[in-house]
Amino acid sequence: MSHVLTRAEILELKRLAVISVEGKRLASIRGAAIYCGVDPRTIRRRVADGTITGYTVGKKLLRVDLNEVDSKLLQRIPTAG
């Protein structure tokens, strides 16, 4: 399942430096929010409640794995059929 990104969102994600480490696609809170089309507070709440894992870089930077965001936040809506 994939969110279709606009050209502006793709450029913004590139600017926010989504990095890949050991199979993880780490993005900033803002980058993950743009990726999902939600407010950054939503991503912060999901990190706080343990739905998704937050990774610290240094003392202040917080990153989330977009693979985990895909699997835990973006849910398929069941349809009749």
CB within 8 Å of 64: residues ≥ 6 apart:
26, 27, 29, 32, 43, 47, 52, 53, 54, 55
> Tell me, what CATH number does 43's domain have?
1.10.10
Query: How far is it, in rounded angstroms, from Cα 9 to Cα 11?
Result: 5
Q: Give residue 32's Cα distance to chain centre.
A: 3
> pLDDT digits over 12-65, tens only?
666 666 677 778 888 889 888 888 888 999 999 999 999 999 999 888 889 999
Q: What is the pLDDT of residue 36?
A: 85
Distance CA 64, CA 69 (A): 8
Q: In 3D, which of 1, 36, 4, 30 has the Cα closest to residue 17?
A: 30
pLDDT score at 55: 92
In a domain, 80, yes or no: no
Q: Is position 30 within any domain?
A: yes
How many domains does one find in the chain? 1
The residue range of the domain holding 53 is 7-72
What's the pLDDT score for residue 1? 46
